[in-house]
Amino acid sequence: MTDIWKEREKALENEYIYRQEKEQIEKLRGAAREKLIREHCHNRCPKCGEPIQPMTFRDVPLDKCPGCGGVWLGPQDFRIFAEKDHRTWFDKWFLEEAKPLAKE
């Protein structure tokens, strides 16, 4: 009778250890996946995946994608733009961007 209880105790212990190891493996896989995603996406356009190029517009650092033409702002860049007179830079930015489209 004691052998049955010992076997049951051992089985429950093995099951607990198995679950703990499985959770640790899942965490490690998730961390490795996140690291891989960060490495492959660093300095890449979130829209098309092309490498982005740094540029400056009105003394604000931006990132521009040569592939799709997207412009990406950093966390503080939009605040800097908002403090400036938006009518002047906004009109100038989009008028310059619209000129090549109008010629085509």
What number of residues does the chain have?
104
Q: Domain check: are 63 and 99 in the same one?
A: yes
Is there a domain that residue 66 lies in? Answer: yes
Are 89 and 58 a contacting pair, CB within 8 Å? yes
Same domain, 84 and 58: yes
Who contacts 49 (Cβ-Cβ below 8 Å, separation ≥6)? 67
**DSSP letters for 53-65:** EEEEETTEEEEE-
User: Is the residue at 8 inside a domain?
Assistant: yes
- Three-state DSSP at 52 gives coil
Characterize 36-64 residue by residue with b for buried, 16 or more Cβ atoms within 10 angstroms of its Cβ, and e for exposed. Answer: eeeeeeeeebeeeeeebeeeeeeebebbb
Does 98 fall in a domain?
Answer: yes
pTM of the model: 0.46
Residues 66, 25 share a domain: no
Mean pLDDT to the nearest integer, 46-71: 86
Residue 63 domain boundaries: 53-103
**Do residues 63 and 75 lie in contact, with contact meaning Cβ atoms separated by under 8 Å?**
no
Is residue 84 a part of any domain in this protein? yes
Residue 85 — very low, low, confident or very high, per pLDDT cuts 50/70/90?
A: low
The 10s digit of each residue's pLDDT in 38-47 is 887 788 888 8
Residue entry with tokens 């965490």: 27
